Structure 1
């Protein structure tokens, strides 16, 4: 018996079934994954008004796509993981790159929070940085999930983003 890889739009991954599960039928990706990043983004933006949110930011851990769904209460999490594996590889790779960039930035912010005695001193800078750097990456990831991938030429350079981070915390 030959094992056939799942194909978007067919069988278990039929478009109607994916749409009912809130999974994009064209890309095989679900926006529910972004909830993981939106959670930390919300905490980062709340830091200036509620510096005690720093503890929650420090508890946040990166999760890859599968890990998010395996640990979520998403009703169709098995379907989401199956569809992810059937998604076009360039979309998966682009989404993973966005997630990786977000994870790096959050980890750097977490390091800064661990190094400060008073989070309220750097809270406004962190919130501004998160709004200007992390939020656009979440929007880019959303675009990938919906099949809107920017050409590489329009993507921010990693070295430039790193320089901005270094300047913020210098």
Structure 2
């Protein structure tokens, strides 16, 4: 066994019966950061006074989230992250990057008051964010096949939505 394999196995043993998945070495608590943004975005539609709070949301790294977290296993979550196997960590990080992008795009849309007048578009963007959160959760729980299928569909839908919005913008100037 290599040192790397020994370290991975050590973290997997430490992760058993904790908030950290003992296969992926990732923790679902990180998704609370994105669920908060989604909740605020959905509230803005009916409660425009929540807009500033949604606009104030910002990306937060996995490690920074857990450093500020109150969960019992936060130190393990931070330490184990570096040893998460690449077959989980790489799609997880790509999904998180897409989540940050989608949320910041929605912030920009709502911040410019375009989104408040286009409820269907905001609801659609919220659905994409929800699916990305579900995708990240699937990866954290070791369900790569489900996550890969979800990512492919969400990426295609995002491209179609952007094309449609570009066409709409061209019509109105």
TM-score (norm 1): 0.81
| Matching of residue 8 in structure 1 with residue 5 in structure 2 | no
Q: What is the number of equivalent residue pairs in this alignment?
A: 162
TM-score (norm 2): 0.80
Question: Residue by residue, what CA displacement relative to the aligned partner does 1:70-116 show, whole Å, maximum 9, x if unpaired?
Answer: 22222222210111111101211111100111111111111112212
SS at match of 1:48: helix
The residue aligned with 2:131 is: 136
Q: Which has the higher contact order (CA 8 A, sep 6+)?
A: 1
**1:124 & 1:164 partners in 2: Cα distance?**
11
**Higher-helix-fraction structure:** 2
**2:74 & 2:66 partners in 1: Cα distance?**
5
Residues 22-31 or 61-70, more deviating:
61-70
**1:161 & 1:130 partners in 2: Cα distance?**
11
- The alpha carbon displacement at 1:147 in A equals 0.6
Q: How does 1:32-51 map to 2 (within 5 A)?
A: 32-51=29-48
Query: Tell me, which stretches of 5 or more residues in structure 1 are unaligned?
Result: none
| Matching of residue 72 in structure 1 with residue 69 in structure 2 | yes
- The alpha carbon displacement at 1:156 in A equals 3.4
